[in-house]
Amino acid sequence: MQALSVRGLTKTYKNGVQALKGIDLDVEQGDFFALLGPNGAGKTTLIGIVTSLVTKSAGSVQVFGHDIDTEIERAKACIGVVPQEINFNMFESPETIVVNQAGFYGIERGLARERAEKYLKQLQLWEKRKSMARSLSGGMKRRLMIARALMHQPKLLILDEPTAGVDIEIRRSMWDFLREINEQGTTIILTTHYLEEAENLCRNIAIINGGKVMERGGMGDLLRKLHTESFLLTLRDGIDVVPSLPGYRLERVDPTTLEVEISKEQNLNDVFAALSAQGLHVLSMRNKVNRLEEMFMRLVENRQA
Amino acid sequence: MSTEALSLSAIRAVGFRTIVIREYGRIMRIWGQTLVPSAVTSTLYFVIFGSLIGRRVGDMGGYDYRAYLAPGLIMMSVITNSYGNVVSSFFGAKFGKHIEELLVSPLPNWIIVTGYVCGGLMRGLMVGMVVTAVALVFTHLHVHHVGIIIAAVVLTSAIFALGGFINAVFAKNFDQVNWIPAFVLTPLTYFGGVFYSVDLLPAWAQKISMVNPILHMVNAFRYGFLGTTDVSVVGAFSIMVACVIALFTWAVILLNRGTGTRD
């Protein structure tokens, strides 16, 4: 079954900006799905329409088979949303915020309190449950929004840049938590600017730009479409001129760093051998950029060109 | 248990109760702003207008001025607090974006409106009781018809709670939250028979006063206490019921359209 099915979705704002230009998208039940795109691509508009915070201009949206035009209450009951911007009452406590949110989804207060304890503990917020929300740190506020979204145990969890501004340690613990939630059966749609995050967590991906889906498919399949990959080689001794390596594109980044671009048909062993033959010793090597980031940049740049 | 297993009526019932509990929590959390000011201002009104000036006024509508003034002051505080509660709570939720908590939930818009109106009713009636207690310090309150008192205060509170909701939907900043109370509500209330009987006015002013809905509400409420009124009580209740239906319908339509809440 499809957790989300979007057909011909368009949105034109009152100021004439066409944010979505006929989006078609399917997300399978149980998937961990990445929705990527540069700022202004239409990601948040798409999420806004699915969660009914934005009114669509045309097209259809179904959430677990419930059409948002005819079964909006059923569709909304399936969704938990973690928005990009902090949107809870800063003058309420985390416990009150999550218990009330459960109530808005029909969960009785007794059960809501049990779940509040469970999720606030899992997201390391239990000690702060009585504090005023405004006193929480940025990372805590993000985690509180995740706890709030889970209170009615949604089948589809939508996270709009959930780790923005969160330090790496907390980000990684949030990844573990989200993986666990997904393994328990919750379908997750994630938008993020940290492409490493998408590559680590997600199985399927759609890249949107200018209100259109530019690429979609399995993470592995999409990454295999990349024909070249760039590596940074750290040399033992500094160089003044770029060594000659026929068939390879090399660039000197600094005296001890060399950038090399490798196509699918080439291999790194030949590069190392050729460099060694010229008396250059490679101490270490790393990817220039994350592969998904590379593909993302190419797609976006191609469109702009 | 996930929400999907629940019936829509169960979701609505619990959701409505949650909005009411949250609004009650808000009223009690900021009691210094919600409940106390009306007690202070009504005490001042009773001391200055009731005891000091009132002695010179003598009878009004056949009753001691303080007894005549009391229902008007109670109603005035109910009106301003019912309105003020919903306009500040809903606009605050819009401003802080936590209105999205409700907008993404499966609750239909009529439940959201009803929940906020109940919050306004709660504060209006709580403040009404506080001002009644203050009034009892200064005068004896005769009760002519308790049913009319309750019906008039509940309907009036609901009308102004709905008015506050609609104001909050359209408001884009805090100035716009204050415009209607300052430039519309206060003049209509002061000219709405809170302090005087329209019999004191010249004929032309009496005719103009009749188009002021607050005059009808205050008089219906006063009739419940004193058994005296400047307007038709049946007419007053007809106006109140019509206002509740019209404003409720308007508020739900606004939320359905997404005016001020959805892009």
pLDDT at B254: 97
B100 → closest Cβ in A53, A77, A109: A53
What pLDDT was estimated at residue A240?
Answer: 87
Flag whether residue A106 sits within 8 Å of chain B, measured between CB atoms: yes
Q: How far is B206 from chain A (nearest CA, A)?
A: 46
Contact of A114 with chain B, judged by CB distance below 8 Å, is answered with: no
Q: If you count them, how many residues does chain B have?
A: 263
Average pLDDT value over all residues in chain B = 92
Given this model, what pLDDT does residue B49 score? 83
Q: Which of A104, A115, A151, A155 to mutate to test the interface with B (most CBs of B within 10 A)?
A: A104
Question: Is a pLDDT exceeding 90 seen at residue B214?
Answer: yes
* Secondary structure (DSSP) of A42-88: SHHHHHHHHTTSS--SEEEEEETTEETTT-HHHHHHTEEEE-SS--S
Range of the domain at A293: 228-304
**Is residue A154 in some structural domain?**
no
A&B contacts, CB < 8 Å: 103
A234 assigned to some structural domain: yes
Domain ranges of chain B: 3-257
CATH number at residue A236: 3.30.70.1560
In chain A, the percentage of residues whose pLDDT exceeds 70 is 93
pLDDT at A154: 96
Stretch 61-100 of chain B: residues touching chain A, C-beta under 8 Å: 93, 96-98, 100
- DSSP designation for A244: P
Pick the residue from chain B with its C-alpha nearest to A64: B4
Question: What's the pLDDT band for B3 if we cut at 50, 70, 90?
Answer: low
User: By C-alpha distance, which of A272, A296, A300, A110 is closest to A219?
Assistant: A296
Q: Is the pLDDT of residue B172 over 90?
A: yes
The pLDDT tens digits of the residues spanning A291-305 come to: 677 667 777 666 555
A281 falls within a domain: yes
Asked if residue A104 belongs to a domain, the reply is: no
B260: left (phi over 0), alpha (psi -120 to 50) or beta: left
Chain B residues 140-199 with a CB less than 8 Å from chain A: none
**Chain segment A46-97, per-residue pLDDT in tens:** 999 999 999 999 999 999 999 999 999 999 999 999 998 999 999 999 999 9
pLDDT at A227 (0 to 100): 63
Chain A residue closest in CA terms to B93: A89
B123: nearest Cα among B5, B20, B54:
B20
N- to C-terminal Cα distance for chain B? Answer: 33
A53 occurs within a structural domain? no
Q: Is the pLDDT of residue A193 over 80?
A: no
In a domain? residue A244: yes
ipTM value, please give it. 0.90
pLDDT digits (tens, 9 = 90+) for A228-271: 778 889 999 888 888 888 888 888 889 999 988 887 778 888 88
pLDDT at A19 (0 to 100): 94
**Domain count along chain A:** 1
Residue A44 contacts B where some CB pair is shorter than 8 Å: no
For residue A38, name the pLDDT band (cuts at 50, 70, 90): confident
- A84 in a structural domain: no
Nearest-angstrom CA–CA distance, A231 and A245 = 15
Q: Which residues of B touch A51 (CB under 8 A)?
A: 104
